[in-house]
Amino acid sequence: MSASKGKGWVGWLIVLLVLALVVTAVVVTITMKKHKGSSGLGPVPGPPGEITAKYSDALGVALQFFDVQKSGKLVDNKIKWRGDSALNDGKEEGLDLSKGMYDAGDHMKFNFPMAFTATVLSWSILEYGDQMDAVNQLDSARGSLKWITDYLINCHPKDDLLYIQVGDPDLDHKCWERPEEMTEKRPLKQVDAKTPGTEVAAETAAAMAAASMVFKSVDSTYSDSLLQHAQKLFTFADTHKGSYSVSIPDLQKYYNSTGYEDELLWAATWLYHATGDQSYLSYVTVQNGEDFADWGRPTWFSWDDKRAGTQVLLSRVNFFASKQASNAESKGLQMYKKTAEAVMCGLLPDSPTATDSRTDGGLIWIDQWNALQHPVAASFLAVVYSDYMLTSRTESFSCSGSSYTSEDLRNFAKSQADYILGDNPMKMSYLIGYGDKYPQQVHHRGASIPANANTGCKGFKWLESKDPNPNVAMGALVGGPFKNDSYIDLRNNSMQGEPTTYNSAIIVGLLSGLVTTSSIAQSLS
């Protein structure tokens, strides 16, 4: 009798233990469950971890395009088919505007997209400089940035005067020549109190404010100079409001601006990070946020529209440093973060609010001209936002009731980067010089003409040649595929085959974020 009772007790104990294990497993499963198999938050990364070779290699290639695009007297020239060029730029006004970078496959210096290039390159270094350093690319990135900011400083000789363009695009586009051989006139365009250009002045202020933080620990005197220029340019942009597309109608044919409010928010945000001055935070959250930011409506990040970039950058304040903000400022910051999340929701392919504007191969596709600009820029924002979440231990965000994690955002960014690097229906890299197969007839004057050719302005036989370019435009990110994932490799196909310097800035940022993992610095200053 007693033996039978003992066996029953043991049996019930076993049943209770099994039930406890089942309940525990269910609780753990519910707790750990993430959207569609995502593994959730990993440990907070410390110093840069294991290097992902393909992104490291691609980053080293991408940074070389800045050397390809350099104007002026070249120092430590790494591109053997390039030489000194445009040495007299600015001389008619007593200025040295020989530096800076050529815009695309031509020889124009358009400061609006060039300043954006500097801002994004600065942002990339500030967020991912340790990861660049881990693969020996930080010095190259900083050197390229300084080549632009040296030029931008010289473009701002007076508080209310900013030179914004070097060269005549109509003349430039009538020539097919190497930059080293240019002889045509290269006139200047400017904005001032009577001819306002708020967007280009504000973007230049953003570039200088961001760069001032990059050089703060490297060259404090240079950093201070950049910050002084940034503050004066912002005051100029905000005081003399007016679009440069209206002031100088000729510019509408090339980099036409759709408005300047986004650049004012963008510049003030960078100045807040650079100075800690609360008045800049109030400017973007309380004074102008509701009118300028278009809260709640996701947009695409580009040289013309900085709203999504500003939303992500201000989310950094929300994640790491919003305790000093007033109630009104905090409310504005929450609206920026909410809109940044809406941007992220639009990117994730299985989100309820995902954009359906994608190729069959999975690439976000917005415009047939320079098609890669938007997916690369969106992916850069996604990897930055992902790392803000990971470092701050933010578990997830919601898209119309579905939860997504930092890993989901990182996987999206990887999918776009991988497409660009060759995982696409064409099985071709769109980053020139990376991989075994990439376009051979890039729409780029210098790359298309042999270094020893003496063509003058009329080297159009090289434009029309069916042969591969004699020079490789290393690191060029071409315009990209059509909506059907196809690409036509013809030099005259500028729609798909022309690279831009600002595309290089955003691909450098994206690759820098993917090359390895590390924690995000909680302050940029």
Q: Which residues are catalytic?
A: 443
DSSP type of residue 180: G
Helix (H) or strand (E) segment spanning residue 231: helix 220-239
For residue 351, how far is the Cα from the chain centroid?
23
As a whole number of angstroms, the distance between CA 424 and CA 413 comes to: 15
Rounded to an integer, what is the distance from CA 224 to the centroid of its chain?
24
83: exposed, middle or buried (C-beta count within 10 Å: 0-12, 13-18, 19+)? middle
Of 178, 507, 227, nearest in space to 370 by CA: 507
DSSP secondary structure of 377-431: HHHHHHHHHHHHHHHHT---EEETTEEE-HHHHHHHHHHHHHHHTT-STT---SB
**CB contact at 8 A, 331 and 295:** no
HEC string of 164-175 equals: EEECCHHHHCCC
E strand or H helix at 64, and its extent?
A: helix 64-68
